[in-house]
Amino acid sequence: MRILFIGDVVGRSGRAIVNQRLPGLISDWKLDLVVLNGENSAGGFGITESIFREFIDNGVDVVTLGNHAWDQREALVFIERAPLLVRPLNYPKGTPGRGAAMIEAKNGARVLVINAMGRIFLDPLDDPFTAIDRELDMCALKRDADAILVDFHAEVTSEKQAMGHFLDGRVSVVVGTHTHVPTSDHQILSGGTAYQTDSGMTGDYDSVIGMVKDEPLSRFMRRIPSAKFEAATGPATLCGLAVETDDASGLATRVAPVRLGARLEEAVPHFWA
């Protein structure tokens, strides 16, 4: 099974490259599943219903979120009628929406997509390790799902790598998001789970994590805000992770980074090209 994960889409520039390139990638690479992190798709802050629908219309199967999930207040409402929009699982009980989605992939396979958030230097949500564990008790790889993808939205590399090892052999993919910079430590862990610490953002890399440089730089130096953060509008790099899983085991057989478009060195999965 062929899975493409697309990292945090930032603003108009990030959306443009997704909408432009994704339909072609789906057919060229014969993708069975596309998951995309959309927490920054509305001008860098959150997601709106129309942006979400546009992603789905362009072939995304599930949209995941993160600490910016609720920056656009409407997400608290429309997430209830959007089963393909998934917010971090470890928000407290009673939070709108769901932290996991069981869907049918393009090839008819049963796929579980989980979104969870780390706690180190982020909001003190419920324990993501326990929360995912509980989810996997209810829905095990092979028994209940042909593939399981976890988008672990976290700040520090140690927490992300710990999650990778924690889930190794029990899910198909653990991919990190949130730092907006792609890492090159993609690998198949010893138990068969594809892993990458961060998929990177899909946005303009001539920026500070997707934002126009001036204000972030000014804040680091002056420690006083002088304007709002604005999503950078230069051409985006689409960043993500390509994973191929074994139909019998649901585990990963191949993993490669994806980087398409401006500035960053291009990377395409040679095994699909």
Closer Cβ to a second copy, 142 or 263, answer by number: 263
Nearest 5°: CA angle at 33, between 27 and 37? Answer: 110
The answer for 16, left when phi > 0, alpha when psi is -120 to 50, beta otherwise, is alpha
Kindly list the strands in the beta sheet with 33-37, ordered across the sheet, starting from the edge strand earlier in the chain: 85-86, 62-64, 33-37, 2-6, 237-245, 252-261
Q: Does 125 bind a second copy (CB under 8 A)?
A: yes
Closer Cβ to Fe ion, 192 or 261, answer by number: 261
- Residue 12: count other Cβ atoms within 10 Å of its Cβ: 18
Cβ at position 49, least distance to a second copy in Å: 18
Which residue in 181, 182, 169 sits closest to 245, CA to CA?
169
- Residue 247: count other Cβ atoms within 10 Å of its Cβ: 11
The answer for 162, left when phi > 0, alpha when psi is -120 to 50, beta otherwise, is alpha
The CA distance from 96 to 77, in Å, is 7
Closer Cβ to a second copy, 206 or 247, answer by number: 206
Cα separation values, 149 from 49, 77, 168, 253, Å: 23, 25, 12, 14
Interaction partner, residue 186 (Fe ion, a second copy, none; CB < 5-8 Å by kind): a second copy
Given the rule CB under 8 A, which of 14-22, 49-57, 103-111, 173-181 is the region that contacts a second copy? 173-181
Instruction: Note if 186 is an active site residue.
Output: no
Given the rule CB under 5 A, which of 31-39, 128-136, 141-149, 162-170 is the region that contacts Fe ion? 31-39
Structure tokens at 253: 């057989």
Interaction partner, residue 40 (Fe ion, a second copy, none; CB < 5-8 Å by kind): Fe ion
Spatial contact of 198 and 182, defined as CB atoms under 8 Å apart: yes
Q: Does 38 bind Fe ion (CB under 5 A)?
A: no
Closer Cβ to a second copy, 187 or 233, answer by number: 187
Which residue in 140, 148, 145, 198 sits closest to 173, CA to CA?
148
Spatial contact of 236 and 14, defined as CB atoms under 8 Å apart: yes
Q: Does 206 bind a second copy (CB under 8 A)?
A: yes
Cα 207 to chain center, whole Å? 20
Bridge partners (DSSP) of residue 238 are 260
Q: Which amino acid is at 245?
A: T
Q: Does 199 bind Fe ion (CB under 5 A)?
A: no
Interaction partner, residue 76 (a second copy, Fe ion, none; CB < 5-8 Å by kind): a second copy
Interaction partner, residue 8 (a second copy, Fe ion, none; CB < 5-8 Å by kind): Fe ion
Q: Does 66 bind Fe ion (CB under 5 A)?
A: yes
Q: Which of 16, 109, 140, 156 binds a second copy (CB under 8 A)?
A: 156
Q: Does 94 bind a second copy (CB under 8 A)?
A: yes
Given the rule CB under 8 A, which of 1-9, 142-150, 244-252, 256-264 is the region that contacts a second copy? 256-264
Closer Cβ to a second copy, 54 or 215, answer by number: 215
Closer Cβ to a second copy, 49 or 126, answer by number: 126
Residue positions annotated with a catalytic role: 68
Binding site for a second copy (CB under 8 A): 70, 76, 91-95, 119-121, 123-127, 129-130, 155-159, 161-162, 165-166, 179-187, 189-190, 197-198, 200, 205-209, 213, 216-217, 220-225, 257, 259, 263-265, 267
